[in-house]
A and B are shown apart, each in its own frame.
Chain A
Protein backbone atom coordinates (compact mmCIF):
# COMPACT_ATOMS: atom_id res chain seq x y z
CA UNK A 1 0.00 0.00 0.00
CA UNK A 2 3.02 2.28 0.44
CA UNK A 3 3.23 4.98 -2.19
CA UNK A 4 6.46 6.03 -3.86
CA UNK A 5 6.83 9.72 -3.14
CA UNK A 6 8.52 10.30 -6.49
CA UNK A 7 5.16 9.34 -7.99
CA UNK A 8 3.17 11.19 -5.36
CA UNK A 9 4.50 14.69 -5.87
CA UNK A 10 3.66 14.77 -9.58
CA UNK A 11 0.16 13.69 -8.55
CA UNK A 12 -0.13 16.63 -6.20
CA UNK A 13 1.11 18.92 -8.93
CA UNK A 14 -1.35 17.48 -11.39
CA UNK A 15 -4.03 18.79 -9.04
CA UNK A 16 -2.20 22.12 -8.91
CA UNK A 17 -1.49 22.29 -12.65
CA UNK A 18 2.18 22.87 -12.04
CA UNK A 19 5.40 21.36 -13.29
CA UNK A 20 7.00 18.45 -11.49
CA UNK A 21 9.65 19.36 -8.92
CA UNK A 22 12.66 17.25 -8.17
CA UNK A 23 12.48 15.11 -5.06
CA UNK A 24 15.54 13.69 -3.36
CA UNK A 25 14.24 10.79 -1.29
CA UNK A 26 11.42 8.28 -1.18
CA UNK A 27 10.89 7.61 2.47
CA UNK A 28 9.98 10.38 4.87
CA UNK A 29 10.80 10.28 8.55
CA UNK A 30 8.27 10.95 11.31
CA UNK A 31 9.18 14.63 11.63
CA UNK A 32 8.81 15.19 7.89
CA UNK A 33 5.48 13.37 7.87
CA UNK A 34 4.27 15.52 10.77
CA UNK A 35 5.36 18.66 8.92
CA UNK A 36 3.63 17.71 5.68
CA UNK A 37 0.41 16.63 7.41
CA UNK A 38 0.28 19.92 9.32
CA UNK A 39 1.08 21.89 6.16
CA UNK A 40 -1.70 20.16 4.22
CA UNK A 41 -4.20 21.20 6.90
CA UNK A 42 -2.96 24.78 6.98
CA UNK A 43 -3.28 25.04 3.20
CA UNK A 44 -6.90 23.93 3.31
CA UNK A 45 -7.66 26.47 6.05
CA UNK A 46 -6.24 29.21 3.79
CA UNK A 47 -8.39 28.03 0.87
CA UNK A 48 -11.40 28.15 3.20
CA UNK A 49 -10.69 31.71 4.33
CA UNK A 50 -10.48 32.72 0.69
CA UNK A 51 -13.83 31.04 0.03
CA UNK A 52 -15.44 32.93 2.90
CA UNK A 53 -14.12 36.16 1.42
CA UNK A 54 -15.48 35.50 -2.06
CA UNK A 55 -18.36 33.02 -2.09
CA UNK A 56 -21.97 33.91 -1.37
CA UNK A 57 -23.19 30.32 -1.71
CA UNK A 58 -24.42 28.94 1.64
CA UNK A 59 -23.26 25.37 0.96
CA UNK A 60 -19.80 26.56 -0.04
CA UNK A 61 -19.56 28.87 2.97
CA UNK A 62 -20.74 26.14 5.36
CA UNK A 63 -18.16 23.76 3.92
CA UNK A 64 -15.42 26.38 4.27
CA UNK A 65 -16.38 26.99 7.91
CA UNK A 66 -16.19 23.25 8.53
CA UNK A 67 -12.73 23.07 6.95
CA UNK A 68 -11.49 25.86 9.22
CA UNK A 69 -13.03 24.24 12.30
CA UNK A 70 -11.94 20.66 11.54
CA UNK A 71 -8.44 21.24 10.18
CA UNK A 72 -7.87 23.69 13.02
CA UNK A 73 -8.86 21.00 15.53
CA UNK A 74 -6.62 18.38 13.90
CA UNK A 75 -3.67 20.77 13.77
CA UNK A 76 -4.24 21.75 17.41
CA UNK A 77 -3.94 18.06 18.31
CA UNK A 78 -0.75 17.84 16.24
CA UNK A 79 0.76 20.83 18.04
CA UNK A 80 -0.18 19.31 21.40
CA UNK A 81 1.51 16.06 20.40
CA UNK A 82 4.77 17.57 19.16
CA UNK A 83 4.89 19.77 22.26
CA UNK A 84 4.47 16.69 24.44
CA UNK A 85 7.11 14.77 22.49
CA UNK A 86 9.43 17.82 22.49
CA UNK A 87 10.24 17.49 18.80
CA UNK A 88 10.28 19.91 15.87
CA UNK A 89 8.69 18.89 12.54
CA UNK A 90 11.03 19.09 9.56
CA UNK A 91 10.31 20.96 6.37
CA UNK A 92 10.78 18.77 3.30
CA UNK A 93 10.24 18.59 -0.45
CA UNK A 94 6.64 17.38 -0.15
CA UNK A 95 5.70 20.28 2.15
CA UNK A 96 7.43 22.71 -0.20
CA UNK A 97 5.56 21.24 -3.17
CA UNK A 98 2.24 21.54 -1.33
CA UNK A 99 2.88 25.18 -0.43
CA UNK A 100 4.01 26.10 -3.92
CA UNK A 101 1.03 24.38 -5.57
CA UNK A 102 -1.42 26.04 -3.17
CA UNK A 103 0.00 29.52 -3.83
CA UNK A 104 -0.59 29.04 -7.55
CA UNK A 105 -4.12 27.81 -6.90
CA UNK A 106 -4.96 30.79 -4.72
CA UNK A 107 -3.64 33.11 -7.41
CA UNK A 108 -6.13 31.53 -9.84
CA UNK A 109 -9.01 31.61 -7.35
CA UNK A 110 -8.79 35.31 -6.50
CA UNK A 111 -9.50 36.17 -10.14
CA UNK A 112 -12.87 34.38 -9.95
CA UNK A 113 -16.25 35.10 -8.40
CA UNK A 114 -19.82 33.75 -8.36
CA UNK A 115 -20.39 30.24 -9.65
CA UNK A 116 -17.01 30.15 -11.37
CA UNK A 117 -15.29 30.59 -8.02
CA UNK A 118 -17.63 28.19 -6.20
CA UNK A 119 -17.01 25.45 -8.76
CA UNK A 120 -13.25 26.03 -8.84
CA UNK A 121 -13.06 25.94 -5.04
CA UNK A 122 -15.35 22.92 -4.68
CA UNK A 123 -13.61 20.93 -7.42
CA UNK A 124 -10.22 21.72 -5.95
CA UNK A 125 -11.38 20.67 -2.48
CA UNK A 126 -12.50 17.33 -3.87
CA UNK A 127 -9.22 16.76 -5.74
CA UNK A 128 -7.10 18.03 -2.87
CA UNK A 129 -8.74 15.77 -0.29
CA UNK A 130 -8.44 12.78 -2.63
CA UNK A 131 -4.69 13.33 -3.01
CA UNK A 132 -4.12 14.06 0.67
CA UNK A 133 -6.14 11.00 1.72
CA UNK A 134 -4.21 8.77 -0.66
CA UNK A 135 -0.97 10.13 0.77
CA UNK A 136 -1.98 9.80 4.43
CA UNK A 137 -3.40 6.31 3.98
CA UNK A 138 -0.84 4.89 1.57
CA UNK A 139 2.33 6.58 2.76
CA UNK A 140 2.18 8.45 6.05
CA UNK A 141 0.35 5.87 8.20
CA UNK A 142 2.35 2.83 6.99
CA UNK A 143 5.70 4.64 7.36
CA UNK A 144 5.29 6.56 10.61
CA UNK A 145 6.93 4.86 13.59
CA UNK A 146 5.75 6.82 16.64
CA UNK A 147 2.48 5.27 17.91
CA UNK A 148 0.69 8.50 19.01
CA UNK A 149 1.45 10.13 15.65
CA UNK A 150 0.14 7.07 13.79
CA UNK A 151 -3.02 7.22 15.91
CA UNK A 152 -3.48 10.94 15.21
CA UNK A 153 -3.02 10.34 11.48
CA UNK A 154 -5.65 7.60 11.59
CA UNK A 155 -8.12 9.95 13.28
CA UNK A 156 -7.19 12.67 10.80
CA UNK A 157 -7.77 10.30 7.87
CA UNK A 158 -11.31 9.54 9.10
CA UNK A 159 -11.91 13.30 9.19
CA UNK A 160 -10.43 13.97 5.76
CA UNK A 161 -12.40 11.11 4.20
CA UNK A 162 -15.59 12.67 5.56
CA UNK A 163 -14.44 15.95 3.97
CA UNK A 164 -13.89 14.20 0.64
CA UNK A 165 -17.46 12.90 0.71
CA UNK A 166 -18.75 16.33 1.72
CA UNK A 167 -16.79 17.96 -1.13
CA UNK A 168 -18.19 15.45 -3.60
CA UNK A 169 -21.76 16.30 -2.56
CA UNK A 170 -20.94 20.02 -2.77
CA UNK A 171 -19.63 19.64 -6.35
CA UNK A 172 -22.75 17.69 -7.34
CA UNK A 173 -25.08 20.26 -5.76
CA UNK A 174 -23.34 23.13 -7.57
CA UNK A 175 -23.96 21.46 -10.98
CA UNK A 176 -20.64 22.77 -12.19
CA UNK A 177 -20.77 20.98 -15.55
CA UNK A 178 -24.01 22.81 -16.54
Chain B
Protein backbone atom coordinates (compact mmCIF):
# COMPACT_ATOMS: atom_id res chain seq x y z
CA UNK B 1 0.00 0.00 0.00
CA UNK B 2 2.77 2.38 1.01
CA UNK B 3 4.82 1.20 -1.97
CA UNK B 4 2.07 1.96 -4.49
CA UNK B 5 1.50 5.39 -2.91
CA UNK B 6 5.21 6.21 -3.24
CA UNK B 7 5.18 4.99 -6.86
CA UNK B 8 2.18 7.23 -7.59
CA UNK B 9 3.90 10.25 -6.00
CA UNK B 10 7.04 9.56 -8.03
CA UNK B 11 4.99 9.39 -11.25
CA UNK B 12 3.26 12.70 -10.46
CA UNK B 13 6.65 14.33 -9.78
CA UNK B 14 7.96 12.95 -13.06
CA UNK B 15 4.97 14.29 -14.95
CA UNK B 16 5.47 17.76 -13.48
CA UNK B 17 9.14 17.60 -14.31
CA UNK B 18 8.35 16.60 -17.89
CA UNK B 19 5.73 19.34 -18.04
CA UNK B 20 8.25 21.92 -16.89
CA UNK B 21 10.79 20.92 -19.52
CA UNK B 22 8.14 20.97 -22.26
CA UNK B 23 7.11 24.53 -21.29
CA UNK B 24 10.42 26.36 -21.42
CA UNK B 25 10.57 29.52 -19.33
CA UNK B 26 10.06 32.78 -21.18
CA UNK B 27 13.25 34.50 -22.31
CA UNK B 28 14.15 38.20 -22.25
CA UNK B 29 15.90 39.35 -25.43
CA UNK B 30 17.64 42.66 -26.05
CA UNK B 31 17.95 44.88 -29.13
CA UNK B 32 20.42 47.76 -28.96
CA UNK B 33 19.68 50.95 -30.88
CA UNK B 34 22.99 52.44 -31.95
CA UNK B 35 24.07 54.73 -34.78
CA UNK B 36 20.55 54.65 -36.19
CA UNK B 37 20.40 50.86 -36.41
CA UNK B 38 18.55 48.10 -34.55
CA UNK B 39 21.15 45.54 -33.48
CA UNK B 40 20.30 42.78 -34.25
CA UNK B 41 17.96 43.90 -36.99
CA UNK B 42 16.28 40.49 -37.11
CA UNK B 43 15.43 38.42 -34.06
CA UNK B 44 13.51 35.18 -33.52
CA UNK B 45 11.69 34.73 -30.19
CA UNK B 46 9.15 32.29 -28.77
CA UNK B 47 5.58 33.28 -27.91
CA UNK B 48 5.61 34.67 -24.38
CA UNK B 49 9.17 36.03 -24.64
CA UNK B 50 9.97 39.69 -24.11
CA UNK B 51 12.18 41.99 -26.14
CA UNK B 52 13.84 45.02 -24.62
CA UNK B 53 15.03 47.87 -26.85
CA UNK B 54 17.70 50.08 -25.32
CA UNK B 55 18.66 53.38 -26.98
CA UNK B 56 22.36 54.26 -26.99
CA UNK B 57 22.05 57.15 -29.48
CA UNK B 58 21.93 60.76 -28.35
CA UNK B 59 18.58 61.35 -30.05
CA UNK B 60 15.19 59.76 -29.26
CA UNK B 61 14.05 56.65 -31.12
CA UNK B 62 11.09 54.26 -31.01
CA UNK B 63 10.52 50.64 -31.97
CA UNK B 64 7.06 50.66 -33.57
CA UNK B 65 5.28 47.86 -35.41
CA UNK B 66 4.55 48.90 -39.01
CA UNK B 67 0.78 49.12 -38.38
CA UNK B 68 1.23 50.46 -34.82
CA UNK B 69 0.18 47.12 -33.21
CA UNK B 70 2.84 47.82 -30.59
CA UNK B 71 5.11 50.75 -29.81
CA UNK B 72 7.82 51.30 -27.23
CA UNK B 73 7.00 55.05 -27.29
CA UNK B 74 9.85 57.59 -27.10
CA UNK B 75 13.15 56.19 -25.89
CA UNK B 76 15.63 58.90 -24.99
CA UNK B 77 19.35 58.20 -24.64
CA UNK B 78 19.84 55.38 -22.13
CA UNK B 79 16.14 54.53 -21.87
CA UNK B 80 14.68 51.09 -22.57
CA UNK B 81 11.25 49.82 -23.62
CA UNK B 82 9.95 46.25 -23.28
CA UNK B 83 7.35 44.47 -25.43
CA UNK B 84 5.93 40.98 -24.73
CA UNK B 85 5.17 38.90 -27.83
CA UNK B 86 2.29 36.45 -27.65
CA UNK B 87 1.11 35.90 -31.23
CA UNK B 88 3.27 33.83 -33.59
CA UNK B 89 4.25 35.42 -36.89
CA UNK B 90 6.67 37.88 -38.48
CA UNK B 91 6.37 41.45 -37.28
CA UNK B 92 8.16 44.29 -39.07
CA UNK B 93 8.92 47.45 -37.20
CA UNK B 94 10.50 50.86 -37.70
CA UNK B 95 11.57 53.89 -35.71
CA UNK B 96 8.69 56.36 -36.06
CA UNK B 97 11.09 59.29 -36.11
CA UNK B 98 13.57 57.75 -38.55
CA UNK B 99 11.52 55.42 -40.77
CA UNK B 100 14.59 54.17 -42.59
CA UNK B 101 15.50 52.26 -39.41
CA UNK B 102 13.89 48.84 -39.82
CA UNK B 103 13.79 45.55 -37.93
CA UNK B 104 11.91 42.25 -37.85
CA UNK B 105 10.78 40.15 -34.88
CA UNK B 106 9.77 36.58 -35.77
CA UNK B 107 7.62 34.96 -33.08
CA UNK B 108 7.45 31.14 -33.09
CA UNK B 109 5.09 28.79 -31.19
Chain A interface (Cβ < 8 Å from any Cβ of B): 65-66, 69-70, 73-74, 77, 152, 155-156, 158-159, 162, 165-166, 169
Contact = CB atoms under 8 A, between A and B. Distances in A.
A110 B76 CA distance: 33
Contacts of A158: 35-36, 57
A73 B58 contact: yes
Interface string B3-37: 00000000000000000000000000000000110
Contact of A155 (B58, B60, B97, B100): B58
B100 A159 contact: no
B76 A73 contact: yes
A159 B97 contact: no
B77 interface: yes
Contacts of A169: 100
Contact of B98 (A66, A73, A152, A156): A66
A66 B97 contact: yes
Interface residues of B, dominant DSSP: loop
Nearest to B35: A158
23 contacts: A66-B97, A66-B98, A69-B60, A69-B97, A73-B58, A73-B59, A73-B60, A73-B76, A73-B77, A74-B58, A152-B58, A155-B57, A156-B58, A158-B35, A158-B57, A159-B36, A159-B58, A162-B36, A162-B98, A162-B100, A165-B100, A166-B98, A166-B100
Given A158-B35, A158-B36, A162-B36, A77 B97 contact: no
